[in-house]
Structure 1
Amino acid sequence: MLYKAYEIQRSMLNAGSAMASMTADMLADPRNPWASFGGTQMMASALEVFAHAAAPRGKPAFGIKIIHVDGTPHAVNETVEIQQAFGNLRKFTHEGLPADAPRLLIVAPMSGHYATLLRGTVERMLERCVVYITDWADAKYVPLHEGRFDLDEYIDYIIGYLEHIGPGAHMMAVCQPSVPALAATGVMAVREHPCRPVTLTMMGGPIDTRESPTAVNDHAITKPFVWFKHNVITTVPANYPGAGRQVYPGFVQLASFMSMNLGSHMNAHYGLFKHLVQGDGESADATKTFYDEYRAVCDMTAEFYLQTVDVVFQQHLLPKGELVHRGILVDLAAIKDTAILCIEGERDDISGIGQTKAALKVTPNLPEKLKKYHLAPEVGHYGIFNGSRWRTTIAPVVEGWIRSNSAARKLSVVA
């Protein structure tokens, strides 16, 4: 009933959004004799804010057409390298990259938003690297006959993508995928897989949520596992290709995120209203662009969501050395030559300080010279991988780590 009720509400809001947008345009039209009056402008702005907030949103495009490197523009080439039921592997490159440019796999979070949330991450790393990214599917569009998708499949997808990219690749995991990315590295290390990553960068990831627990962590442990199963899992309705599939809906995740910082979101929309009244279109567009991406949400399979709650947030199996993949214990002690960089934000309210850094503790056989920790001052969760501080202070750390360890790996292979 939850999904059906949401669909009814969404249909009503879609109609309301269209009406509000049309009315706002009429009120603001210069041919309207009342358009110049302050009351009319305020009403038009209020209707535009409502129309934008209630508008339907599908999957955004990456839309990276041109990239500037050292002041020189280059056309970006985007291709789909692998197509699979629960996610595609996308590749970004440009003609300004040298033939030996590092190849970087960015593992996007499967946490209710599309991979395009990392558009800024891709854009910045594309300056010096050939970038691949996991473009996860919206579970409501995956037919039931495609089977299930849980943490085991997630790890298998990562390994498969690294195999496709080939030996010598680097990997970056943003937030939630830090756990499966580290696990995949451990699985590949045990096998001495030639395609195991040269470096693994983890940013704001919940490796060990017992460290500096946040409100998100508290929510996951204060309720029993069965509560999540009975209260946030629902069935995809018949009007989607994935009809009948059990999912954790994206709209529930969005509501959770919005409620965590409700005051900030209300102030942002009030700011949008003031910008519209003042005719500050540039500032208004910036707010709209952010929320266009933020409100574009997708569903996760129930089995993946529930397993993540259980394994990552409640039982902490990976840092305790008890995580099992395909019936075999994941041995992080086998990681001996993948250089690990852990990045955290000082003001991160999703993954607390120390949760990502824990990866350096649970890899005992990795030499200290292959471990690095970076705490970004005055940076929140989103700012770790997007925005000005990401571009100017955090990305250079990642680039330097990739560059130095690429050279070290080449030297060791030659030796």
Structure 2
Amino acid sequence: MGINFFKGHPTESLLPSKAITEAVTKLLTGPRDFDLDPEDRHPLSYGSDQGSLWVRTEIARFHSKVFKDAGTEPSHINLTGGASYGIMNILAQTTLPHTGYTKQAFIISPTYFLINETFIDAGFGGKLTAIDELEGTIDFALLETKLKHFSSGPGSDEDDLDLINAPNAATKKKIYKFVLYCIPSFSNPGGETYDLATRSKLIDLAREYDMLIITDDVYDLLDYTQPLDKLPVVLPRLTHLDRITATSDYGNTVSNSTFSKLIAPGLRVGYQESINDKLVFQLCQGGANVSGGSPSQLNSMIVGTILKEGLIDGIINGFRRQYAQRAKHLHSAITKYLPRDTTAFGFDGGYFTWVTLPQGYDSRRIVKKLKEEYDVLLAGGENFEVVGDKRDWGSRSVRLSISYLSVAEIDQGVETWGKVIDELYPQK
């Protein structure tokens, strides 16, 4: 079966089957007073466009506990079928790259390895620019240079907006000139967390250039540096900061969140949050959403029940305890078995560690030998490029996941990795 450091999902034995079974039973057999409410509806029926109000209320309450002054209200939330669906929906409803109205998409690099396809599906083929992730921040000099460059091009035709609005729409959609995608906390794959100054500066730039910042907020509660018996204190999300000093009706941020990393990916439940009700209402009014209603009616209510019954803290902290142990062992193994001057980031939280070998080592050659001769799979850095604007991440870097492998498998895999390096580079 081998050792697979590529898989970015929980070990099956960690999934909270008992809590989910308890929530499903309570939801479907217990008394319900919301079945006929048009904002909630029966759990096995079509959902409302924005998703069940009582579920959104539970998420808002959860936010008030873990984010303190976030200011999240149920009306600020749109329920989705997970983070991947959420990105697709956001791009479809807030950008128009086909005519050049939305001029360019910026993606922090190295990036989540499947995000390119979603942007290309939305019409951004040939319009993707990589912005380098730095330690705790991003390359703002490069981002500002690129924003100025693309802003100096031909002006946008406001008539283009008619192409993205239904003829009978009561209001026109807010469409942005630029879009930026990032994972601000325990990023995938870099393992970085952006400081408050970085988050605030991103919002300032977004306001100046009419840019929408899409943040994949999926790992911030998986913090391993704080006590593991209670939920951690986390940095405010960009949307929470944007809400405080918003200068426009729609804001310049949307938080794209999911319960896949906090409960179970098979539930396919996520949510989008904006500064108020305007942008999230726009996001719930896409044709597919209006046709079928909220895409996770039953499963979102299962999550809502888990929140309402107070089961979520124990589930999240259970993951944190296991992952913290794995992260600690991974750090020790890298220090013990890999070459001196190897750099690694990402042991403080989330799923991933980004490891870079010193100059003189060919990571592609090492990864290939590991897979073919030892059945150890590493995620080579070439997987995390932005299409059309590459950085050659595969030359010396790899991503490792701690979410799937046991401590023993992690130790064995890194030891084998070091052994292969010694075989290929015996003189170093």
TM-score range relative to shorter protein? under 0.3
Point out which structure has higher relative CO (alpha carbons under 8 A, 6+ apart): 2
Question: What is the TM-score normalised by the length of structure 2?
Answer: 0.27
Question: What is the TM-score normalised by the length of structure 1?
Answer: 0.28
